[in-house]
Protein backbone atom coordinates (compact mmCIF):
# COMPACT_ATOMS: atom_id res chain seq x y z
CA UNK A 1 0.00 0.00 0.00
CA UNK A 2 2.72 2.46 0.99
CA UNK A 3 4.69 1.43 -2.04
CA UNK A 4 1.65 2.02 -4.23
CA UNK A 5 1.17 5.55 -2.87
CA UNK A 6 4.86 6.31 -3.33
CA UNK A 7 4.58 5.12 -6.91
CA UNK A 8 1.59 7.35 -7.51
CA UNK A 9 3.37 10.39 -6.00
CA UNK A 10 6.37 9.74 -8.20
CA UNK A 11 4.20 9.51 -11.31
CA UNK A 12 2.50 12.76 -10.32
CA UNK A 13 5.84 14.47 -9.85
CA UNK A 14 7.03 13.37 -13.25
CA UNK A 15 3.82 14.61 -14.85
CA UNK A 16 4.19 18.00 -13.17
CA UNK A 17 7.81 18.33 -14.26
CA UNK A 18 6.74 17.35 -17.75
CA UNK A 19 4.12 20.06 -18.00
CA UNK A 20 6.47 22.73 -16.56
CA UNK A 21 8.98 21.86 -19.25
CA UNK A 22 6.33 21.89 -21.94
CA UNK A 23 5.46 25.49 -21.06
CA UNK A 24 8.97 26.61 -21.96
CA UNK A 25 8.91 24.85 -25.30
CA UNK A 26 8.83 27.29 -28.15
CA UNK A 27 5.99 26.77 -30.57
CA UNK A 28 6.40 27.72 -34.19
CA UNK A 29 4.26 30.55 -35.50
CA UNK A 30 2.24 30.01 -38.69
CA UNK A 31 4.30 30.74 -41.78
CA UNK A 32 4.02 34.34 -42.88
CA UNK A 33 3.19 35.71 -39.42
CA UNK A 34 4.27 39.31 -39.15
CA UNK A 35 4.31 41.88 -36.38
CA UNK A 36 4.85 45.50 -37.32
CA UNK A 37 4.45 49.11 -36.21
CA UNK A 38 1.40 50.90 -37.56
CA UNK A 39 2.76 53.96 -35.79
CA UNK A 40 5.11 55.62 -35.13
CA UNK A 41 6.95 55.35 -38.44
CA UNK A 42 10.65 54.54 -38.51
CA UNK A 43 12.63 57.76 -38.32
CA UNK A 44 9.69 59.81 -37.07
CA UNK A 45 10.11 62.79 -34.77
CA UNK A 46 7.40 62.67 -32.14
CA UNK A 47 6.29 64.28 -28.92
CA UNK A 48 6.02 62.41 -25.64
CA UNK A 49 3.67 60.86 -24.68
CA UNK A 50 3.35 59.10 -28.01
CA UNK A 51 0.86 56.54 -29.22
CA UNK A 52 2.22 53.21 -30.38
CA UNK A 53 -0.04 51.08 -32.58
CA UNK A 54 0.90 47.45 -33.03
CA UNK A 55 -0.05 45.47 -36.11
CA UNK A 56 -0.19 41.71 -36.57
CA UNK A 57 -0.74 39.46 -39.57
CA UNK A 58 -1.23 35.70 -39.57
CA UNK A 59 -2.06 35.20 -35.89
CA UNK A 60 -4.54 36.55 -33.36
CA UNK A 61 -4.11 38.64 -30.24
CA UNK A 62 -5.37 37.10 -27.00
CA UNK A 63 -4.84 38.02 -23.34
CA UNK A 64 -1.83 36.43 -21.64
CA UNK A 65 -2.58 32.96 -20.32
CA UNK A 66 -5.04 32.14 -23.11
CA UNK A 67 -3.98 28.72 -24.35
CA UNK A 68 -5.36 28.92 -27.87
CA UNK A 69 -3.36 27.88 -30.90
CA UNK A 70 -2.39 30.68 -33.22
CA UNK A 71 -2.60 33.41 -30.58
CA UNK A 72 -0.27 35.41 -28.36
CA UNK A 73 0.22 38.97 -27.17
CA UNK A 74 2.36 41.96 -28.02
CA UNK A 75 5.58 43.03 -26.29
CA UNK A 76 7.53 46.20 -26.83
CA UNK A 77 11.28 46.42 -26.38
CA UNK A 78 12.35 49.95 -25.52
CA UNK A 79 16.03 50.69 -26.17
CA UNK A 80 16.69 46.97 -25.78
CA UNK A 81 18.41 45.00 -28.57
CA UNK A 82 16.76 41.66 -29.33
CA UNK A 83 20.03 39.81 -28.74
CA UNK A 84 19.92 40.89 -25.08
CA UNK A 85 16.69 38.93 -24.65
CA UNK A 86 16.73 35.24 -23.66
CA UNK A 87 14.11 33.96 -26.07
CA UNK A 88 13.91 30.56 -24.36
CA UNK A 89 12.62 32.07 -21.13
CA UNK A 90 9.48 34.06 -20.31
CA UNK A 91 10.19 37.72 -20.99
CA UNK A 92 10.79 39.80 -17.84
CA UNK A 93 8.37 42.70 -17.40
CA UNK A 94 9.90 46.14 -16.88
CA UNK A 95 10.14 49.55 -18.56
CA UNK A 96 12.45 48.16 -21.22
CA UNK A 97 10.36 45.04 -21.88
CA UNK A 98 6.70 45.88 -21.84
CA UNK A 99 3.90 43.33 -21.97
CA UNK A 100 0.42 43.89 -23.33
CA UNK A 101 -1.08 40.93 -21.55
CA UNK A 102 -4.56 42.34 -21.75
CA UNK A 103 -4.46 41.86 -25.50
CA UNK A 104 -3.89 45.56 -26.21
CA UNK A 105 -2.80 46.63 -29.69
CA UNK A 106 -2.21 50.26 -28.76
CA UNK A 107 -0.38 51.99 -25.95
CA UNK A 108 0.78 55.39 -24.81
CA UNK A 109 4.47 55.69 -24.14
CA UNK A 110 6.30 58.36 -22.20
CA UNK A 111 9.90 58.72 -23.27
CA UNK A 112 12.62 61.21 -22.49
CA UNK A 113 13.81 63.55 -25.21
CA UNK A 114 16.29 62.06 -27.61
CA UNK A 115 16.66 59.03 -29.84
CA UNK A 116 14.98 55.77 -28.91
CA UNK A 117 14.80 52.35 -30.46
CA UNK A 118 11.55 50.40 -30.40
CA UNK A 119 10.97 46.82 -31.45
CA UNK A 120 7.89 44.63 -31.23
CA UNK A 121 8.08 41.04 -30.10
CA UNK A 122 4.98 38.86 -30.37
CA UNK A 123 5.04 36.02 -27.85
CA UNK A 124 2.85 33.16 -26.68
CA UNK A 125 0.43 32.91 -23.74
CA UNK A 126 3.36 32.27 -21.36
CA UNK A 127 5.46 35.25 -22.59
CA UNK A 128 7.81 32.87 -24.41
CA UNK A 129 9.00 33.57 -27.94
CA UNK A 130 7.91 31.59 -30.94
CA UNK A 131 10.61 29.75 -32.86
CA UNK A 132 11.73 31.52 -34.96
CA UNK A 133 10.82 34.72 -33.06
CA UNK A 134 8.05 36.93 -34.43
CA UNK A 135 9.55 40.42 -34.30
CA UNK A 136 9.25 43.69 -36.12
CA UNK A 137 12.24 45.50 -37.49
CA UNK A 138 13.66 47.77 -34.82
CA UNK A 139 12.75 51.40 -35.49
CA UNK A 140 14.50 54.51 -34.30
CA UNK A 141 12.48 57.57 -33.39
CA UNK A 142 13.37 60.96 -32.05
CA UNK A 143 11.41 62.34 -29.14
CA UNK A 144 11.35 66.13 -28.99
CU1 LIG B 1 3.86 38.89 -22.04
What is the tens place of the pLDDT at every residue in 57-73? Answer: 999 999 999 999 999 99
Q: Which of 77, 74, 78 is nearest to 114 (CA)?
A: 78
CA of 32 from ligand 1 middle (Å) equals 21
Q: What's the CA-to-centroid distance between 70 and ligand 1, angstroms?
A: 15
Can you list the domains of the chain with their CATH numbers?
A: 2-143 (2.60.40.10)
Give the mean pLDDT of 46-63: 98
Confidence of residue 7 (pLDDT cuts 50, 70, 90): very low
pLDDT tens sequence across 86-143 = 999 999 999 999 999 999 999 999 999 999 999 999 999 999 999 999 999 999 999 9
> How large is the average pLDDT for residues 62-85?
97
| % of the chain beyond a pLDDT of 90 | 83
Residues with a beta carbon under 5 angstroms from ion ligand 1: 99, 127
Q: How far is the CA of 10 from the centre of ligand 1 (A)?
A: 32
10 pLDDT above the threshold of 70 = no
| pLDDT tens digits, 11-40 | 444 444 444 554 568 999 999 999 999 999
Contacts of 32 (CB under 8 A, 6+ apart): 57, 58
pLDDT score, position 25: 83
How far does residue 1's CA lie from ligand 1's centre (Å)?
45
Q: How far is the CA of 61 from the centre of ligand 1 (A)?
A: 11
Residue 51 Cα to ligand 1 middle (Å)? 19
Pairing verdict, β 139-143 and 97-99? unpaired
**3-class secondary structure per residue, the chain:** CHHHHHHHHHHHHHHHHHHHHHHHCCCCCCCCCEEEEEECCCCCEECCCEEEEEEEECCEECCCCCCCCCEEEEEEEECCCHHHCCCCCCCCCCCCEEECCCCCCEEEECCCCEEEEEEEEEECCCCCEEEEEEECCCEEEEEC
State the distance from the centre of ligand 1 to the C-alpha of 80, rounded, in angstroms: 16
Amino acid sequence: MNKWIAGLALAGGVLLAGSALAQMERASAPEGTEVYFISPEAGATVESPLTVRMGLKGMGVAPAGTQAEGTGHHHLLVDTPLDEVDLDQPLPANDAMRHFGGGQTETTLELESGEHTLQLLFMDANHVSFDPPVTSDPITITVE
